[in-house]
Amino acid sequence: MPEKPAAIQSFGNAGGPTGSPERRRPEPEALELTIVYEDDSLLVVNKPPGMVVHPTYRNSSGTLLNGLLWHVRERDGMVPSIITRLDKNTSGLVLVALSPEVHARVQRDASAGLVKKEYLALVRGTPTPRSGSISLPLARSPEDRRLVVVTLAGQACETRYEVLSPPCEPDLVSCGPDLVRSGYSLVRCELVTGRTHQIRVHFAAVGHPIVGDPTYGEAHATLARQALHAWRLTLRHPVSGEPLQVEAPVPADFQRLEDVLLD
Give the residue extent of every domain in the chain. Answer: 1-113, 115-263
The average pLDDT across 179-185 equals 66
pLDDT over 70 (residue 68): yes
Name the helix (H) or strand (E) containing 163: strand 158-165
> How far, in Å, CA of 230 to CA of 30, rounded?
24
Q: Across residues 126-151, what is the average pLDDT?
A: 96
d(CA 100, CA 97): 7
R_g (Cα) of the chain, nearest Å: 19
**Residue 219 φ then ψ, to 5°:** -70, 160
Sort 150 into a burial class: Cβ within 10 Å, 0-12 / 13-18 / 19+.
middle
Give CA 163 to chain center in angstroms: 19
Element (H, E) at 45: strand 42-47
pTM: 0.86
What is the tally of helices (H) and strands (E) in the chain? 5, 12
The rounded mean pLDDT for the chain is 88
Rounded CA-CA distance 263/47 in Å is 27
User: Is 59 or 102 the better-scoring residue by pLDDT?
Assistant: 102
On the question of a common fold for 1-113 and 115-263, the answer reads yes
CATH superfamily of 115-263: Pseudouridine synthase (3.30.2350.10)
**Quick one: DSSP state of residue 83?**
S
Q: From the candidates 39, 40, 87, 178, give the one annotated as an active-site residue.
A: 87
Q: Which of 94, 25, 109, 39 is nearest to 64 (CA)?
A: 94
| pLDDT at position 169 | 54
Peptide bond into 166 cis (omega under 30): yes
Q: Write the CB contacts of 119 (distance below 8 Å, at least 6 apart in sequence).
A: 92, 188, 189, 190, 191, 199, 228, 229, 230, 231
Residues 8-36: tens digit of each pLDDT: 333 333 344 444 455 678 899 999 999 99
| Residue 30 pLDDT | 97
Active site residue 263: no
The CATH classification number of 1-113 equals: 3.30.2350.10
- Mean pLDDT of the region 224-247: 97
Q: Lowest mean pLDDT of 18-32, 58-72, 75-89, 183-197, name the range.
A: 18-32
Which residue in 164, 177, 190, 194 sits closest to 261, CA to CA? Answer: 164
pLDDT greater than 60 at residue 151: yes
Q: Is-contact 210 204, C-beta < 8 A? A: yes
**Rounded to whole angstroms, how far apart are CA atoms 225 and 140?**
21
What is residue 200's three-state secondary structure? helix
Query: What pLDDT was estimated at residue 21?
Result: 53
pLDDT of residue 22: 58
In this prediction, residue 171 carries a pLDDT of 43
